[in-house]
């Protein structure tokens, strides 16, 4: 290979995704074709469609000197054409098998349409609801994030990358991108190495270790700096941790122009310097910026980089193409897509995934007069019940799919309005009311009229697909004022109306106002909780979101999601997360000189792991098989009982605290969990085998004898329950020497 051809393999072009359709698009397209012919581009971002990608592939394979096939990459974050719930919603299922199935089906559609490489899973950990990309994460907990990361990598890659339904996954964004200053995207990240390993790095380690035959095939760097060193030039994270400590040998790709962006970071003097820093740190493929192609030759000449760095990177790219089977079979079978894309099985999975992701935050006032599921609480269905459906998000297909919706099409989506319209026994009065913009007074008049003459009001509030995602951070994470005005108008009109729902045992008749929260982040719902009789978080539920909502409102499915992230009372609390430290002056109500606020509680509105159901559950205390040696294992179990009259699902959650250690530890850390479906009155005993390393913490002292994961002897408290406020506790003793080095915890 010539140097030019080697550098070609390390360059990814943002190719036009449409076939050349006219002079205005031909120029860049023609440049691209000549670049492919010359072997000066090794992968393309965004082309899609089997025929179109095959046409590009034929140029590379037939017309370039070395006939090296192209890698075709796309951002398939939660679905290719069938769109699954956003990743934060998948995490809310607490069922890795669901996230894996979503990824598996997204992979099948992607590969059938000519995509070999997907830029997912996004595995950033995030505790800041202001950050727009929380929607793409698995939330605030590194362990839940690690479990989801491993499951999705396995879903995308499957047992063999060469299969026609497999794609190479890409864990991103490496690393700590989810901890930006001020919650502003691309913001500065500064954290201890201990926190880096125990938090943001943990899901990457799970992805890099992989399950079954495959570690993740690629990792994407992030835009942010980490402690003064931009991620794309960070030899500690990219070489010392990823390559040397973890032994991972996949492809590192820059996020967009993050190699070149080391100049505005103030870390690289110019593009030549940026190329030097990127290559030395070990970024293999440069996405869209061309610093490698323009400057590698001169860097080799000056000795700033050596040929081995280039060759190692090229080798990794070619090995990825080999594993994907592209040398033997570079073309996509164009007959595949018709039977795979938007198939009934994929739609069914999208509906099930959405159903399992919904989190019920409130159902009735003071918990005794539930309003959901509808048929059971809205009197008989023999007379159609008038249902006012308010809020433009109810009929917004794009918002229902959410951000990063791949190649999903609005016409594929069944919205909430369309789904409820089909429900027998209801006559739906759709009122656009307030969307995400200002609510016109006219809208409110319509809202009042519909609410006043209905038996049930369902309101959809929150965010559309442009209020979260990349570059969409928000300082104010409340429900938009216009939507609050809409809810208030509906509430007041309903209370004035003389059309009352059947009187209930308590004699209080109130038209139920059910609020559905469509969102890609935890919102501060404080100002709507009193207006609503029920609150269901539906995230951005995807192509089958409407039917999934109808299934849940009608009781065909019982809400079973649990929060993967704390919901704050106000943005002023941020970051508010369950795994906080105790401090020297832990908060005590009524005391002044303690860790707290004058004007707000320390506690979130809803804690990590929280979620209600149409039934109730009892969680037994944790039971253990005794003590634990620092290199041993421990059996822990807990009983969970469905104490209600309806079948339901919950998540048994086990937390731990290391109350005294050579570094302060969080008051709680998620240790294990299991999602359960339980019949009425059924009790299930859940048990886990806990290895000592799962209780470990990271000791930094880089390069010193002490660096690594360690377990110390002493008391460990175990908490079992249905969310992170679980109180049923038992203590165990860890026995062993002062400090034992252990492997990094898995997954």
Positions marked catalytic: 255
Is 139 within 8 Å of 145 (Cβ atoms)?
Answer: yes
Residue 99: helix, strand or coil by DSSP?
A: helix
Nearest distance from residue 172's CB to ligand GLC, in Å?
A: 6
Mark residues 242-271: x for contact with ligand GLC by CB under 6 A, - for none: -------------xx---------------
In the bound state with ligand GLC, the residue whose beta carbon lies nearer, of 135 and 419, is: 135
CA 49, 50, 55, 61 torsion-angle sign: positive
Is 224 within 8 Å of 231 (Cβ atoms)?
Answer: yes
Burial class (CB in 10 A: 0-12, 13-18, 19+), 689: exposed
Locate the DSSP E strands across 263-377. Answer: 286-287, 359-363
Is 544 within 8 Å of 563 (Cβ atoms)?
Answer: no
In the bound state with ligand GLC, the residue whose beta carbon lies nearer, of 156 and 567, is: 156
Nearest distance from residue 497's CB to ligand GLC, in Å?
A: 48
Residue 699: helix, strand or coil by DSSP?
A: strand
Nearest distance from residue 225's CB to ligand GLC, in Å?
A: 15
In the bound state with ligand GLC, the residue whose beta carbon lies nearer, of 130 and 172, is: 172
Is 135 within 8 Å of 540 (Cβ atoms)?
Answer: yes
In the bound state with ligand GLC, the residue whose beta carbon lies nearer, of 165 and 470, is: 470
In the bound state with ligand GLC, the residue whose beta carbon lies nearer, of 225 and 423, is: 225
Name which position in 80, 119, 619, 698 contacts ligand GLC (CB under 6 A).
119
Residue whose entry in the numeric block shows the structure tokens 């159609």: 384
Alpha carbon distance 169, 160 (integer Å) = 12
Kindly identify the residues of this chain, within the stretch 203-222, that bind ligand GLC according to CB under 6 A: none
Q: Which runs of consecutive H residues, i.e. helices, occur in 539-628?
A: 545-553
Nearest distance from residue 377's CB to ligand GLC, in Å?
A: 43
Residue 697: helix, strand or coil by DSSP?
A: strand
Nearest distance from residue 178's CB to ligand GLC, in Å?
A: 12
Distances in Å between the Cα of 511 and the Cα atoms of 416, 425, 430, 501 are: 20, 17, 17, 6
Kindly identify the residues of this chain, within the stretch 317-376, that bind ligand GLC according to CB under 6 A: none
Contacts of 216 (CB under 8 A, 6+ apart): 153, 157, 169, 170, 171, 207, 208, 210, 250
Nearest distance from residue 469's CB to ligand GLC, in Å?
A: 10
Start-to-end CA span in the chain (Å): 39
Nearest distance from residue 568's CB to ligand GLC, in Å?
A: 25
Please tell me the number of Cα atoms within 13 Å of 395 on its side-chain side: 15
Answer whether the bond into residue 575 is a cis peptide, omega within 30°. yes
Comparing every residue's Cβ against ligand GLC, the nearest one is 119
In the bound state with ligand GLC, the residue whose beta carbon lies nearer, of 75 and 446, is: 75
Name which position in 35, 75, 109, 443 contacts ligand GLC (CB under 6 A).
75
Nearest distance from residue 87's CB to ligand GLC, in Å?
A: 12
In the bound state with ligand GLC, the residue whose beta carbon lies nearer, of 43 and 100, is: 43
In the bound state with ligand GLC, the residue whose beta carbon lies nearer, of 75 and 463, is: 75
What value does the CA radius of gyration of the chain take, rounded to a whole number of Å? 27
Task: Enter the DSSP assignment of 448.
Answer: H
What DSSP line would sit under 52-88, residue for residue? HHHHHHHIIIIISSS-PPPEEEE--SS-SSSPPPPHH
Answer whether the bond into residue 745 is a cis peptide, omega within 30°. no
In the bound state with ligand GLC, the residue whose beta carbon lies nearer, of 180 and 568, is: 180
Nearest distance from residue 255's CB to ligand GLC, in Å?
A: 5
Please tell me the number of Cα atoms within 13 Å of 45 on its side-chain side: 17
Backbone φ and ψ of 726, nearest 5°? -50, 135
Per 3-state DSSP, the chain is made up of helix, strand and coil in percentages (nearest 5) of 30, 20, 50
In the bound state with ligand GLC, the residue whose beta carbon lies nearer, of 221 and 439, is: 221
Please tell me the number of Cα atoms within 13 Å of 498 on its side-chain side: 0
| 172 interacts with ligand GLC by CB under 6 A | yes
Nearest distance from residue 17's CB to ligand GLC, in Å?
A: 11
Nearest distance from residue 119's CB to ligand GLC, in Å?
A: 4
Kindly identify the residues of this chain, within the stretch 489-518, that bind ligand GLC according to CB under 6 A: none
Backbone φ and ψ of 667, nearest 5°? -70, -25
Backbone φ and ψ of 675, nearest 5°? -80, 135
In the bound state with ligand GLC, the residue whose beta carbon lies nearer, of 52 and 665, is: 52
Per DSSP, what are the bridge partners of residue 335? none
> Distance of alpha carbon 342 from its chain centroid, rounded?
22
Contacts of 70 (CB under 8 A, 6+ apart): 36, 41, 42, 43, 44, 56, 57, 60
Kindly identify the residues of this chain, within the stretch 546-585, that bind ligand GLC according to CB under 6 A: none
Nearest distance from residue 26's CB to ligand GLC, in Å?
A: 23
**Structure token digits, residue 299:** 């860097």
Name which position in 5, 322, 470, 682 contacts ligand GLC (CB under 6 A).
470
In the bound state with ligand GLC, the residue whose beta carbon lies nearer, of 52 and 172, is: 172
Query: How many binding residues for ligand GLC (CB under 6 A)?
Result: 6
Residue 92: helix, strand or coil by DSSP?
A: helix
Alpha carbon distance 363, 501 (integer Å) = 17
What are the residues binding ligand GLC (CB under 6 A)? 75, 119, 172, 255-256, 470
């Amino acid at each position: 290979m010539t140097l030019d051809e080697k550098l070609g393999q390390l360059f990814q072009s943002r190719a036009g995704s449409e076939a050349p359709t006219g002079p205005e698009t031909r120029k860049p397209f023609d440049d691209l074709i000549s670049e492919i012919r010359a072997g000066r581009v090794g992968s393309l971002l965004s082309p899609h469609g089997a025929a179109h990608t095959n046409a590009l592939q034929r140029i590379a394979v037939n017309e370039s000197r070395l006939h090296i096939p192209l890698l075709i990459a796309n951002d398939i974050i939660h679905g290719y054409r069938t769109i699954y719930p956003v990743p934060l919603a998948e995490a809310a299922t607490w069922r890795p098998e669901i996230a894996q199935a979503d990824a598996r089906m997204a992979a099948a559609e992607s590969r059938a349409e000519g995509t070999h490489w997907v830029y997912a899973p996004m595995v950033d950990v995030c505790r800041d609801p202001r950050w727009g990309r929380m929607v793409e994460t698995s939330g605030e907990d590194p362990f839940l994030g690690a479990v989801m990361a491993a499951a999705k990598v396995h879903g995308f890659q499957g047992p063999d990358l060469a299969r026609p339904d497999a794609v190479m996954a890409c864990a991103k964004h490496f690393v700590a991108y989810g901890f930006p200053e001020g919650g502003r995207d691309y913001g500065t990240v500064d954290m201890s190495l201990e926190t880096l390993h125990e938090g943001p790095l943990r899901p990457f380690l799970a992805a890099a270790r992989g399950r079954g035959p495959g570690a993740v095939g690629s990792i994407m760097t992030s835009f942010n700096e980490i402690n003064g060193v931009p991620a794309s030039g960070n030899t500690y994270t990219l070489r010392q941790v990823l390559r040397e400590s973890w032994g991972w040998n996949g492809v590192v790709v820059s996020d967009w122009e993050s190699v070149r962006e080391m100049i505005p970071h103030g870390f690289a003097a110019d593009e030549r310097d940026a190329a030097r820093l990127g290559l030395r740190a070990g970024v293999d493929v440069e996405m869209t910026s061309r610093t490698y192609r323009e400057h590698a030759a001169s860097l080799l000449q000056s000795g700033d980089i050596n040929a081995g760095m280039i060759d190692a990177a090229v080798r990794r790219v070619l090995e990825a193409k080999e594993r994907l089977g592209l040398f033997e079979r570079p073309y996509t079978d164009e007959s595949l897509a018709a039977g795979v894309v938007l198939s009934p099985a994929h739609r069914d999975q999208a509906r099930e995934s959405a159903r399992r992701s919904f989190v019920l935050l409130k159902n009735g006032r003071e918990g005794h007069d539930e309003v959901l599921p509808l048929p059971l609480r809205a009197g008989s269905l023999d007379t159609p019940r008038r249902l006012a459906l308010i809020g433009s998000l109810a009929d917004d297909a794009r918002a229902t799919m959410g951000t990063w919706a791949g190649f999903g099409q609005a016409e594929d989506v069944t919205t909430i309005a369309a789904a409820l319209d089909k429900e027998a026994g209801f006559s739906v009065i759709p009122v656009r009311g307030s969307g995400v913009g200002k609510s016109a007074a006219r809208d409110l008049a319509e809202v009042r009229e519909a609410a006043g003459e209905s038996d049930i009001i369902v309101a959809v509030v929150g965010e559309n697909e442009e209020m979260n995602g990349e570059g969409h951070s928000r300082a104010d994470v409340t429900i938009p004022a216009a939507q609050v005005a809409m809810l208030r108008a509906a509430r007041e009109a309903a209370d004035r109306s003389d059309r009352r729902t059947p009187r209930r045992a308590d004699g209080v008749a109130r038209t139920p106002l059910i609020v559905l929260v469509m969102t890609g982040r935890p919102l501060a719902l404080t100002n709507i909780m009193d207006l609503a009789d029920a609150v269901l978080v539906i995230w951005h539920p995807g192509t089958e979101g409407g039917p999934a909502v109808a299934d849940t409102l009608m009781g065909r499915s019982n809400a079973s999601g649990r929060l993967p992230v704390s919901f704050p009372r106000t943005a002023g609390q941020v970051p508010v997360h369950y795994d906080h430290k105790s401090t020297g002056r832990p908060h005590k109500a009524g005391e002044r000189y303690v860790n707290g606020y004058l004007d707000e509680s320390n506690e979130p509105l809803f804690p990590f792991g929280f979620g209600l159901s149409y039934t109730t559950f009892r969680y037994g205390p944790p039971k253990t098989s005794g003590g634990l040696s620092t290199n041993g294992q421990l059996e822990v179990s807990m009983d969970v009982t469905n104490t209600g009259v309806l079948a339901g699902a919950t998540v048994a959650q086990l937390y731990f605290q290391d109350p005294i250690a050579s570094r302060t530890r969080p008051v709680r850390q998620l240790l294990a969990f299991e999602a359960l479906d339980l019949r009425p009155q059924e009790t299930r005993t859940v048990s886990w085998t806990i290895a000592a390393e799962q209780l470990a913490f990271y000791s930094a002292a880089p390069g010193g004898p002490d660096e690594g994961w360690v377990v110390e002897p002493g008391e460990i408290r175990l908490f079992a329950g249905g969310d992170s406020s679980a109180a049923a506790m038992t203590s165990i003793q860890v026995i062993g020497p002062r400090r034992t080095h252990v492997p990094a915890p898995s997954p």
